Amino acid sequence: MSATDLTAADIDSAHFDSVLADAKATLERIAAEFSPAVFASSLAAEDMVLADLILRAKLPIKIFTLETGRLHAETLGMVDRIREVYGYDVALYKPEPAAVDAYVSANGLNAFYDSVEMRKECCRIRKVEPLNRAELAVQEDDAAHGMQKFNPLADWTEAEVWHYLKSNQVPYNPLHDKGYPSIGCEPCTRAIQPGEDVRAGRWWWENPESKECGLHVVDGKLVRIKSA
Ligand code: SF4
């Protein structure tokens, strides 16, 4: 059974009501107390819950995604779906074309398979630098950058995420129906088998300890707040 097969029978309704109320309250507090607030969305399932909550309540929280140039067509299609359903244009943060060209010319299009260093350099160019240009901190030490970050869905179960999406007819990335638990760049993300660790779907050719991109915002789940 994949995550998208989870049903209302898989949730505790009292817990769901509680975490939903908490998430709404957290987002309202963010919008009220921190401005400008931004939400880094991977356009995957959890982030669509947050997008729906933000957009339905018309909260002043800007939603953006990192358009790395290597996303699945299905993921890019979510930008269009959000525009259709909510009339909202998700902001796209893109890498510097010159930096991408230099990397590809020197190393090849898929050099990230060759070494951890090559992979991290690709992530730096396509993810970290676009956020730097957007003046968003990318370090864990966010306090030093005048940032605070929140995870309004920290206590949600996977079943609750899918219950929310389905009961509210929220659009979601069709890759989830094909076994993708999390969604990143196309060449670095794959479907997993039931029971397999979620991390098996990312950078599967690397040792587990090297699996990070120096950018904890990139896989969603975080609302980053820039203090004025
Ligand atoms: S996830 Fe893969 S394709 Fe995407 S930026 Fe990182 S190395 Fe490059």
Q: What is the pLDDT along the chain (228 residues), one digit of tens a residue?
A: 566 776 667 789 999 999 999 999 999 998 888 777 888 899 999 999 999 999 999 999 889 999 999 999 999 999 999 999 999 999 999 999 999 999 999 999 999 999 999 999 999 999 988 887 765 533 334 554 555 678 899 899 999 999 999 999 999 999 999 999 888 999 999 988 888 887 788 888 887 766 665 554 444 334 444 433
**Running DSSP on this structure, what letter comes out for residue 66?**
E
CA of 194 to the centre of ligand 1 (A): 25
- Ligand 1 lining (C-beta closer than 6 Å): 68, 70, 112, 119, 122-123, 126-127, 184-185, 187-188, 213
Amino acid at 51: A
Alpha-carbon distance of 124 to 111, in angstroms, equals 13
- pTM for the whole structure: 0.86
Comparing CA positions, the residue from 64, 43, 193, 46 lying closest to residue 136 is 64
CA 29, 31, 35, 39 dihedral sign is positive
Query: How is the beta sheet containing 37-40 ordered, strand by strand?
Result: 91-93, 61-66, 37-40, 223-226, 147-150
Q: Are 185 and 68 in contact (CB under 8 A)?
A: yes
Tell me the best of 127, 138, 216 to mutate to test the pocket of ligand 1, counting ligand atoms within 8 Å of each CB and taking the most. 127
Strand residue runs (E) in 22-127:
37-40, 61-66, 91-93
